[in-house]
Structure formats: C-alpha cells, structure tokens
Amino acid sequence: MRDKNDRRRPETIPEDDFRLFDDFEDEIEDDEDQVGTPRSLMLVDRLIYATQEDDRRRPLLFQLRRAIVEDEMTFQEAREAIVEMQETIEKLTSPANRIGTLLGMPKKEVAHVIIGGSEYYANIDPQLDPAALKIGFSVLLNDAYVIVGELGYNTSGSIAKIADLMPDGRLRVGGEPAGLQSIILQRSTDLANAKLKVGDEIRMDPNSKVALERLEIQEAQDYYLEAVPDLPWSKVGGLDDTIELIKDTIELPILHPELFDTFQYAPPKGFLLHGPPGCGKTLIGKATAHNLTQRLSEEEGAEVEGCFLHIKGPEILNMWLGESERKVREIFQIAREKSKEGYLPFVFIDEAESILGTRRSFRSHNISNTVVPMFCAEMDGIESLQDVVIILATNRPDLIDPAILRPGRIDRKIKVTRPDKEASQAIFRIYLTPDLPLHPEVLDAHNGDAEAAVSYLIDQVTDQLFQRHEDNRFLEVALRSGRRDTIYRGDLCSGAIVDSIVQRAKESAIKRAIEGTTDGVGIRVEDLLEGALSEYRENDIFPPTDTVEDWLKLLDYDPENVVKVTPIRPEKSTRRKAASSVI
C-alpha cells in the first residue's frame, strides 16, 4: 500500500468540464426522465451535484463521467454493428421468396396468384396496399405463401399474335404458322381498356396467363408514314394530261359524293400507274395524296388528315409460308382502321409486278399463287374500301395478273409517258430556278434578267438533248415486222434524268467555286451539256447488255413485237469509220 503522503494529486480538470457541468446543473433533474440515458451516467451526475465545489473528489467524478460517456458511445457502435451483422446473417440464412404472377383480387386482402403452373389464393401482407397491386404484376411470396412485396410487370416474356377477341375482353392467341398452341389470355390492368385488334403482337407473362404489353410491329412502322408528303401539283412537271386523268378518277368522286350517288356511279377502287422508270409514277402517287387532302379540307371547311402507306413490292415477300399473305392483310387492316379514325388513307404499292405477277400452273409453290388471291379477296372483302385510295405503280404492266387489273378492282389504268421536249422544259424549270447562282456571262447576255437567263439555259440543253443527229443515237430496236427503229437520247428522257442533269451541273459550278477560278461562279450552258452527256454515259438504269428483257422495262414498245434491242456504242461506230477510211 502506498503511503498517504505518496498519493498523487488529482490531475487538473479542464475549465471546460466545470463550465459544462455548471450549465448542466440546471437540467440534471430533466435528464433523469430522458429515455436512453445510461443509469450510471445519471448516478455520477447526481454525485457531482451533491458534492461541494471545493471537494477533492469532484475532479475524479468529472473524469469518471467522461469515461462513462466514451464507453457508452463505444457500446452503442458495437450494438449497431451487432444488429447489422444479425440482419446480414438473417438474410443469408432465410429461405428465398417465390415469385408469382397476380391474376386477380377476389377479396380485399386475398389475391389469386400463379406460381410455376400452380394457382393459389394467397393472403396479402397488411403492410402492403392492395390498391397498388395490378393484374399481371410479379409478386413476392414467403414460405407461408403470403404476398410480401411486388416487383411490377415482368420485362420479359413470350410474344404472340392476337388471333381473336373474346366478348368478355379476353384474348385468344396462337394458331399462326409459327406453331404456337392457341391459348386464352386475360388482360393486365394497363391493357384492360386498350384498343386491341386481331394481328396485334402482345407480350405474355412467364406463366402465359396474362397479356402484359402491346408491341408495335416494326413492319408497319417501316411503310407507314404518319404525314402525307407535302407535294403540290406544281412540283410535278410535264404530266398535265396524267394529272387531269387522276383528278377525274379520284378527286371528283370523293369531293362530290352526292352527285355520283344520284347517277348511281360506283367510284373506282384503285388505279394503276404504268410507264418507264423515272417518269414520275411515285411522285404522282405522293402528289395525289397531298392534293386530295387539301381539296377535301377546303370543301369541308375543316382539317382533313391523310396517311400514306408506301409499300415497296419486294418488302412483302417472305420465305415463310403464309407470311406474305399476312402482310397483305395487315396493310388493308391498317388502311381500314385509319379510315374509321377519320383519316384519308392512301395505299401506294410500288413495283407491283413483283408481288402481283401472273400466276403459273406449276406444281411447285409460287408466291404469286397465294398473294394474288389474298389481294383480290381484300379488295372484294365484306368490309367496304370506301374512302381508301389504292394506287399501284409498275413499269411492266404486262406481268401483273389479269385478275388484279379487271374492272371492279383496279378500274383505271393511267400511262405515264416519257416527257417530250416541251414537257422536259417544264421539268427543267422545277429544278433550275432563277434563284440559283448563274454564270455572269449568261446573266450579262440577258441584261441581268435571271428568268430570261434560265429560259436560255433550258432551251440550249433541251435542243441538244432532243436533236436527231448521229451523236444522239442510243438504241436500235428490231421488230417482228422487219422494221428497225432508232431510239435517240431524247426518246429515253425522264424526270429523274432531268433532275440528275441539273444536279451534275450544280456539282461542276461548285467545284469551280472551290477552286477559285477567275471566270466567275455559277451555272453555265457547258455545265448542263456536260451533265447530260455524263448522265447517258453513266446512268445505271440503262442495262449494260443487249438483253431484250432488261431493255423492255425502259421502252414503250409492246414486248411481243420486239425481237432484238441493240445499244449503239459511240466508240464502236467511231472505230468502224476509221477502219473504212484506212481501207
């Protein structure tokens, strides 16, 4: 034992502790009622309160209080760590929850669920809000098969097509060539009031009991254009007679239905645009849609919206049996639905001969043997095609099945001919406008009048294009009668060629501007003439061989009367002349 004289004096207590305790004395009685305050700390506080300020034990009590507070903080951190560890252990050792699909709510706190093909009536955890549970939701069930959570709609699942709509809203899916067995589905909460139709694609839950989502068909998006192209008749040049025929065929019956009903006149269901490629068949189809909707809006005094279904013939072809026919049904279904919604739908089928070709009596399967009857059935179907405009375009009308072209289906056949010199000038004026940069020499020659300068340029290039001289000879056609016809470059002119000539002239002018030539920037006659020469020399629409079938797509001759088509090669004729002069 240490002697009393050897006892060390207590450590000096910081003034902060005294100050803290002085502030605490007034509230010590309230601290006794605080929840969570350690009892040992409360007892030390009482001892400090009971001792005098000059008591030598008082500093030791302050040190004890500080140690108790530090230990309590350490114990609290340890308790929290233990709780976290216990929760982790509980999670690691607890059994997994089952995931099921909610099929219904027969009672307020009872749910109808399916798990792995087995159905259950499960209770709902009181902590969950039953109103937040939707039919089709993936739900969590514990060992007692009580719903303890929801995961929302499953993001994956099988895809099927709707085959039929049941009277009570359920859906029959399957039965397509894909081989899916027909099953009945109920709708999820989000699809309860959705407008579904036969042919729509839906996504099912993993148990194949509920239709969760309607999927947009990508094929329909590819050829369906929400807005009609903005293309007035003024943008279609050199086809005045064709435009007038279209107005008489399509616009008048729709604009004056009462008058046509009085005469008991059945409006045509559709019309065929046929002619050489590049002459404006597709352009006319788009312009028809734009101008007809504009005229209807003016007549009815309200906005009439149209939709343009642009189908390229080869897009419908599919290697799987029945898929091409399904696409044909889908196209007409979309047109009918848009008509019921107040739109004016236009079905424009380009390259129609690729899918509506003449049927053959072969033992092997031919796509036209099934697509053509389906197309005819859709046009003659029970549902009327009123207010649906059908336009076919082709450069080989002789290859289209006669059943398609008979009256009552495609009632009007409108030929789009190649433009002559006057029509070509009208087309040139659409692409070669006075606001384009023109060469200073051309403008100076016409006193700065851009209109006169453009007319001069157009006259020069069309005169050169339609001249009947040796350099313009392009083809020689041998007929069955023994006659031989010479085709010149101007005879094969088209709107697409005119557009390309102007584009080539612009390229030449731009190149000179980039090079910084001093002779002026702008389009000149030489640019147009060189563009025309390059166009006929390089254009890919002209076949490189003398195969008759290839050239018949470009010529206006009856295919049965053509025996041979011989392209005239300028370089070959030049060599012949040189050889004869040497001899």
**DSSP states of 479-545 as a string?**
ETTS-EEEEEGGGG--HHHHHHHHHHHHHHHHHHHHHT-SS--SB-HHHHHHHHHHHHHH-TTS-SS
**301 pLDDT tier (thresholds 50, 70, 90):** low
Mean pLDDT of 129-155: 89
- Given a cut of 60, is residue 176 above it in pLDDT? no
| Residue 10 parent element (H or E) | none
Q: Give the 3-state secondary structure percentages of the chain, helix then strand then coil, rounded to 5.
A: 45, 20, 35
Domain boundary pick from 215, 234, 254? 215
- Give me the torsion for CA of 417, 420, 424, 426, rounded to 10°: -90
**178 pLDDT tier (thresholds 50, 70, 90):** very low
Which region holds residue 441: left if phi is over 0, alpha if psi is between -120 and 50, else beta?
A: alpha
Mean pLDDT of 273-300: 82
**10 pLDDT tier (thresholds 50, 70, 90):** very low
Write the pLDDT tens digit of every residue in 413-447.
Answer: 888 888 888 988 999 999 999 999 898 888 888 88
pLDDT at 457: 92
**112 pLDDT tier (thresholds 50, 70, 90):** very high
- Given a cut of 70, is residue 359 above it in pLDDT? yes
Sign of CA dihedral 260, 266, 269, 272: negative
- Is there a single domain that holds both residue 127 and residue 164? no
Contact in structure between 233 and 243 (CB atoms under 8 Å) = yes
- Given a cut of 60, is residue 333 above it in pLDDT? yes
- Is there a single domain that holds both residue 491 and residue 478? yes
Out of 271-275, 320-324, 447-451, 566-570, pick the least confident. 566-570
Distance CA 547, CA 552 (A): 9
- Is there a single domain that holds both residue 548 and residue 529? yes
- Given a cut of 50, is residue 7 above it in pLDDT? no
- Given a cut of 60, is residue 11 above it in pLDDT? no
Distance CA 231, CA 284 (A): 9
- Is there a single domain that holds both residue 127 and residue 173? no
Backbone angles phi, psi at 448, to 5 degrees: 80, 5
Write the pLDDT tens digit of every residue in 187-223.
Answer: 998 888 888 877 788 889 888 889 998 887 655 555 5
pLDDT at 66: 87
pLDDT at 113: 92
Q: Which residues make Cβ contacts (< 8 Å) with residue 557, sequence separation at least 6?
A: 477, 479
Instruction: Classify residue 48 as exposed, middle or buried by CB count within 10 Å of its CB (0-12, 13-18, 19+).
Output: buried
Mean pLDDT of 5-30: 47
Tell how many helices (H) and how many strands (E) occur in the chain.
20, 19
Strands 183-187 and 171-173: antiparallel
- Is there a single domain that holds both residue 273 and residue 325? yes
- Is there a single domain that holds both residue 168 and residue 239? no
- Give the orientation angle of helix 450-465 with respect to helix 525-538, to 10 degrees: 40
Give residue 481's identity as a one-letter amino acid code.
Answer: S
- Given a cut of 80, is residue 469 above it in pLDDT? yes
- Given a cut of 80, is residue 109 above it in pLDDT? yes
Distances (CA, A) of 30 to 16, 18, 21, 266, 355: 22, 19, 14, 99, 94
Distance CA 53, CA 559 (A): 126
**13 pLDDT tier (thresholds 50, 70, 90):** very low
Q: Which residues make Cβ contacts (< 8 Å) with residue 117, sequence separation at least 6?
A: 207
**2 pLDDT tier (thresholds 50, 70, 90):** very low
Write the pLDDT tens digit of every residue in 522-576.
Answer: 899 999 999 888 888 776 556 666 566 666 666 767 777 788 888 776 554 444 4
pLDDT at 217: 66
**Number of residues that make up the chain:** 583
- Is there a single domain that holds both residue 429 and residue 402? no
Give residue 428's identity as a one-letter amino acid code.
Answer: F
pLDDT at 361: 52
What is the overall mean pLDDT for the chain? 79
Out of 31-45, 82-96, 492-506, pick the least confident. 31-45
**581 pLDDT tier (thresholds 50, 70, 90):** very low
Domain boundary pick from 415, 434, 468? 415
Mean pLDDT of 109-133: 89
Mean pLDDT of 255-281: 83
Domain extent for 197? 159-215
- Given a cut of 70, is residue 227 above it in pLDDT? no
- Is there a single domain that holds both residue 186 and residue 141? no
Distance CA 141, CA 165 (A): 32
- Is there a single domain that holds both residue 452 and residue 564? yes
Q: Residue 167's domain is classified under what CATH number?
A: 2.40.50.140
Backbone angles phi, psi at 532, to 5 degrees: -65, -40
- Is there a single domain that holds both residue 339 and residue 460? no
Q: Which residues make Cβ contacts (< 8 Å) with residue 260, sequence separation at least 6?
A: 252, 253, 267
- Is there a single domain that holds both residue 252 and residue 310? yes
Mean pLDDT of 327-353: 83
- Name the token pair of 472: 């313009």
DSSP tag of 302: S
Distances (CA, A) of 563 to 477, 478, 485, 542, 543: 8, 5, 12, 18, 17
**Tally of domains in the chain:** 5
- Is there a single domain that holds both residue 374 and residue 504? no
Contact in structure between 268 and 248 (CB atoms under 8 Å) = no
- Give me the torsion for CA of 373, 374, 376, 379, rounded to 10°: 170
